[in-house]
Chains A and B, each alone.
Chain A
Amino acid sequence: MDEPWSFDYNNMDSADVEKMYIKAAFKLAEEALDNGEVPVGCVMVFEGSIIAESRNTVNETKNAVRHAEMNCVDQVFEWCKKHERDSSLVFKNLHVFVNVEPCIMCASALRVLDIPQVVYGCNNERFGGCGSVMNIHNDEVPGFGRSLQVTSGVNADDAVKLLKLFYKGQNPNAPHPILKAQKLTELNQTS
């Protein structure tokens, strides 16, 4: 299968294109932070163009599963409906860029949809499903499609900085702000 950037972007190599899309995801992550969300953004690319772009909306929707990737998947379904494309074929040729490693749930969703690959920035030590906490990306699970190709560490420092900014602030919807404050002091002590 041809990589979309190998022919769509004449003078850029694939690493540059990866960085470009990760930067697009990063912009969405910044928007998430501005709205008091965990700063994660995601873009999904099909045939060389972005067909879905979203960010974390957990607090806004009061639904803890509304991660950037999940929102993007819904947009892809909408896009497919609008452009009368077979969604399963679109997902099979989709490229996913996200500034933080997909969590166990999102990695599972990518596997369920048979998405071939994901490029991300920094690791997700708390929930990561592509090696940090679990190996959903390449574990053998009945019903899952191909294993997910993972490229990590693209502009990771930017993503880490953004996450640190978020954890310095407080999640306004969390039930125990005192606990958060304690965690923060621990974090500061260790860092």
Chain B
Amino acid sequence: MSEKKRKHVSPDHKNYVNKTVRSTKDEDISKTNVDLHISPWYLTPVLADKYYQHTESENVYVAEVLDQKMTAQLVKTLSSQYPLTGLSHVKRVRARANGKKNAGLEIIICRAIDVNINHLDSSSTSIQTEKIMKTDVSHLNALSEFCKLFVVPKYPPLTRKQYEQSSQLWPVQFHEDKYIARVMNNQVFTTSELNFIEQNMSLALKLAMVSKCHVGAVVVDPATKTVVARAHDFRNKHTLQHAVMVAIDLVAQGQNGGAWNRYGLQIGPNLQEAESLNDSCIKRENHTTSQSLDECCGKDCRLTKTSPYLCTGYDLYVTREPCTMCAMALVHSRIRRVFYGVSTPWGALGSRYKIHVWEGLNHHFEVWKGVLEKQCQL
């Protein structure tokens, strides 16, 4: 199996693995990389665009501080006269960047948009400090006569890469989100977790293979490591019975709900077929009957002291990227995480849209792609 897998390792993948091996010392994670190396797939997070964006900039006027003893007072005066609205991540003062030590300080007077340019020559990149700063002479004397137009980063940096880019423009505050950093460096999952992910996806793959439409999906409760629902596509019979929609309804059926069972629409028969293919792919209890599902839910109740609510706390594994309908169905169902194999041009979890991080929606979730990517290209 592992020999077979190696054949699929792409050059990209090798680079990626090498990079992460170098960048980490954690024992558990280095094991992860070893495992990734023999694996034909690699996991890629699908994060919001804001994490990948290049630094945007905004114009400010900057003066030189001639009398450094006055710096604190200047900062105080300026922050009340010209607060850096929306630029709270930008440091007001910086050491002059001309290569020398103690080359003096520079201070941001104001945002360029705060200045009424009408009475000034708007094409000029430097203006007289006294024309924009209303303060007493002692303050003005501490500043250079002219201030110059500078660019500073418009938004606070969210990643180390963005921080490095931003810092080249002007010093900024950076509060690194440790989790996002781990996500971007692929340091989230341990070997056993990656194995678990692969197991679940291979189950979804088997379901996809028995489906005429070649899409399979499983819903997993990561707390108990049990499969809550396994489904495949029936869109050849019912246009909206995509694997994800079927899976969501099966979860509901397991909670004594569901709709497609009531309408008498068949969503079951081929699943039995997949069952026989299933072999010892994954250790779990048999949840094919509603009774055993009830037992499973009962166990959950004792564990969490609440009854299961929709797909809260559950992970979905689907062989290809869900469409907008399925992606929004997962938002409505409060899914915890989604893992998919291969991207689709119409996909709504990374390709056409990123519904899982859409601003204005009340539920966001994590998305990872690339699990068994080659095999999922059915």
Please name all residues of chain A whose beta carbon is closer than 8 Å to the beta carbon of B263 when the two chains form the complex.
74, 78
In the complex, whether B249 has a CB less than 8 A from a CB of chain A is yes
In the complex, whether B352 has a CB less than 8 A from a CB of chain A is yes
Please name all residues of chain B whose beta carbon is closer than 8 Å to the beta carbon of A66 when the two chains form the complex.
259
Interface pick from A8-16, A28-36, A140-148 = A140-148
Bound complex: CA A109 to CA B239 (Å) = 9
In the complex, whether A127 has a CB less than 8 A from a CB of chain B is yes
In the assembled complex, the CB of B151 is this many whole angstroms from the nearest CB of chain A, namely 33
Bound complex: CA A60 to CA B260 (Å) = 13
- Of A60, A108, A113, the most chain B CB neighbours within 10 A belong to A108
Interface pick from B5-13, B107-115, B268-276, B357-365 = B357-365
A63-B259 in contact (CB<8A): yes
In the assembled complex, the CB of B212 is this many whole angstroms from the nearest CB of chain A, namely 17
Please name all residues of chain B whose beta carbon is closer than 8 Å to the beta carbon of A129 when the two chains form the complex.
324, 328
A105-B255 in contact (CB<8A): no
Pick the contact of A109 from B240, B262, B332 — CB < 8 Å?
A: B240
In the complex, whether A112 has a CB less than 8 A from a CB of chain B is yes
Bound complex: CA A60 to CA B262 (Å) = 12
* Chain B: interface size category: 35 or more
A64-B248 in contact (CB<8A): yes
In the complex, whether A70 has a CB less than 8 A from a CB of chain B is yes
Q: A104-B324, A173-B309 are in contact. Are A112 and B240 (CB under 8 A)?
A: yes
| Interface set, chain A 137-177, CB cutoff 8 A to B | 141-144, 173-175
| Interface set, chain B 347-374, CB cutoff 8 A to A | 352-353, 355, 358, 360-362
Q: A112-B239, A112-B240, A113-B239 are in contact. Are A63 and B328 (CB under 8 A)?
A: no
Q: A65-B332, A112-B323 are in contact. Are A70 and B361 (CB under 8 A)?
A: no
In the complex, whether A82 has a CB less than 8 A from a CB of chain B is no
In the complex, whether A44 has a CB less than 8 A from a CB of chain B is no
Please name all residues of chain B whose beta carbon is closer than 8 Å to the beta carbon of A175 when the two chains form the complex.
306, 309, 312
Pick the contact of B239 from A65, A87, A173, A174 — CB < 8 Å?
A: A87
Residue of B nearest to A110 (CB): B325
In the assembled complex, the CB of A138 is this many whole angstroms from the nearest CB of chain B, namely 13
In the assembled complex, the CB of A109 is this many whole angstroms from the nearest CB of chain B, namely 5
B interface footprint on A63-97 (CB within 8 Å = 1, 0 otherwise): 11110001101100110000000011001000000
In the complex, whether B142 has a CB less than 8 A from a CB of chain A is no
In the assembled complex, the CB of A62 is this many whole angstroms from the nearest CB of chain B, namely 3
B309-A105 in contact (CB<8A): no
B interface footprint on A91-131 (CB within 8 Å = 1, 0 otherwise): 10000000000011100110011000000000000110100
Please name all residues of chain A whose beta carbon is closer than 8 Å to the beta carbon of B306 when the two chains form the complex.
175
Pick the contact of B352 from A57, A133, A141 — CB < 8 Å?
A: A141
B324-A136 in contact (CB<8A): yes
Residue of B nearest to A66 (CB): B259
Please name all residues of chain B whose beta carbon is closer than 8 Å to the beta carbon of A78 when the two chains form the complex.
263
Total residue contacts A-B, CB cutoff 8 A? 104
In the complex, whether B62 has a CB less than 8 A from a CB of chain A is no
Q: A87-B239, A141-B352 are in contact. Are A62 and B323 (CB under 8 A)?
A: no
Please name all residues of chain A whose beta carbon is closer than 8 Å to the beta carbon of B333 when the two chains form the complex.
63-65
In the complex, whether B101 has a CB less than 8 A from a CB of chain A is no
Residue of A nearest to B250 (CB): A63
In the complex, whether B329 has a CB less than 8 A from a CB of chain A is yes
In the complex, whether A61 has a CB less than 8 A from a CB of chain B is yes
In the complex, whether B99 has a CB less than 8 A from a CB of chain A is no
Pick the contact of B310 from A62, A91, A126, A134 — CB < 8 Å?
A: A62
Q: A70-B240, A133-B358 are in contact. Are A105 and B310 (CB under 8 A)?
A: no
Bound complex: CA A21 to CA B325 (Å) = 25
Bound complex: CA A103 to CA B311 (Å) = 19
- Of A63, A113, A174, A175, the most chain B CB neighbours within 10 A belong to A63
A108-B259 in contact (CB<8A): no
A64-B332 in contact (CB<8A): yes
Bound complex: CA A144 to CA B353 (Å) = 14
Residue of A nearest to B329 (CB): A65
B329-A141 in contact (CB<8A): no
Pick the contact of B238 from A77, A134, A141, A144 — CB < 8 Å?
A: A77
B323-A143 in contact (CB<8A): yes
| Interface set, chain B 261-318, CB cutoff 8 A to A | 262-263, 265, 306, 309-312
In the assembled complex, the CB of A190 is this many whole angstroms from the nearest CB of chain B, namely 17
In the assembled complex, the CB of B104 is this many whole angstroms from the nearest CB of chain A, namely 50
Pick the contact of B325 from A64, A105, A133 — CB < 8 Å?
A: A105
Please name all residues of chain B whose beta carbon is closer than 8 Å to the beta carbon of A173 when the two chains form the complex.
309
Please name all residues of chain B whose beta carbon is closer than 8 Å to the beta carbon of A63 when the two chains form the complex.
248-249, 251-252, 257-259, 310, 333
A104-B328 in contact (CB<8A): yes
Instruction: List 16 additional A-B contacts (Cβ < 8 Å) besides A70-B259, A143-B346.
Output: A57-B259, A60-B257, A62-B252, A62-B255, A63-B251, A63-B258, A65-B249, A73-B240, A105-B329, A108-B325, A108-B328, A112-B323, A127-B328, A133-B360, A134-B353, A134-B358
10 smallest A-B Cβ distances: which pairs?
Answer: A62-B257, A105-B328, A63-B252, A108-B325, A64-B332, A108-B324, A104-B328, A142-B346, A142-B345, A65-B329
5 A-B contacts, Cβ less than 8 Å apart?
A65-B333, A74-B265, A136-B324, A143-B345, A174-B309
